[in-house]
Amino acid sequence: METRLQRAAHLLDVPHLVVFTGAGMSKDSGLDTFRDADGVWSRNAPEDYASPEGFRRNPRAVWRWYLERRKQILAAEPNAGHKAVAALEQLLPRVTVITQNIDGLHQRAGSRRVLELHGSVHRYKCSKNCRGVPTLTPTPELDQTEPLPCPYCGALTRPDVVWFGELLPAEVWEAAIREISACEAVLVIGTSGQVEPAASLVWRARDRGKSLVEINPAPTLINGIAEVVLPGTAAEMTPALLAALVALHAAD
């Protein structure tokens, strides 16, 4: 493992690093993943709680479900993996986090350049985007159990997250493509590589000759294209990788 960590550190010691993260990044903060056998979608039907159709059928249920998610997320703390990703900014000239997560834990850990592909549970918007995409509205209090109307048009408001069947926010997606194109290496942490189009960014990086390092405790679709795979959780392996990079810099 030591040799593997050292090789990964050499690959990631670049002027511009992209860190691409999924739900496994936040698992050690006590937040469930989505697609694991015990994940969120094993207990809740995504078409009921994460689709425009589900929201139209039962807006109150969806609203309350996301309030509970927000409460869980606000009670969680960034884990050692989040903190190690943030600390990479002290070693490398440019670090960009591209995340599929909606929890905001990267920002709370101190990461300054974060692109949220799937939105944020901490933001709300008009369900009709009456003043442009997105039309952001005030974030409700956690005791607000009834859906609030948009202050501009009266339509119901909803979390500013990407649901099944919806497009990723164009501005964020285009920025992510630019970052993948400009970087020299990508560190992939805690994602199965199954959720599209987000996962296509990893293959785009591979096709453009970027170095790829993966951290994940389980086999993934990315294993076969990563130059180094570090088996373990985000909270275990990311700090170890950070330490290897610190040692590399100390030896220079």
Residue 131 Rama label (left phi>0; alpha psi -120 to 50; beta): alpha
**What is the residue-wise DSSP string for 11-48?**
HH-SSEEEEEE-GGGGGGGT---SSSTTSHHHHS-HHH
Task: Report the DSSP pairing between strands 211-215 and 157-161.
Answer: unpaired
114 three-class SS? strand
Among 10, 16, 118, 249, the one annotated catalytic: 118
118 is catalytic: yes
213 three-class SS? strand
Closest CA to 214 of 2, 15, 22: 22
Per-position b or e across 166-183, b if 16+ CB within 10 A of its CB:
eebbeebbebbeebbeeb
Instruction: Identify residue 126 by its one-letter amino acid code.
Output: C
Q: Do 225 and 202 form a contact (C-beta atoms < 8 A)?
A: yes
Q: Do 100 and 191 form a contact (C-beta atoms < 8 A)?
A: yes
* Catalytic residue set: 118
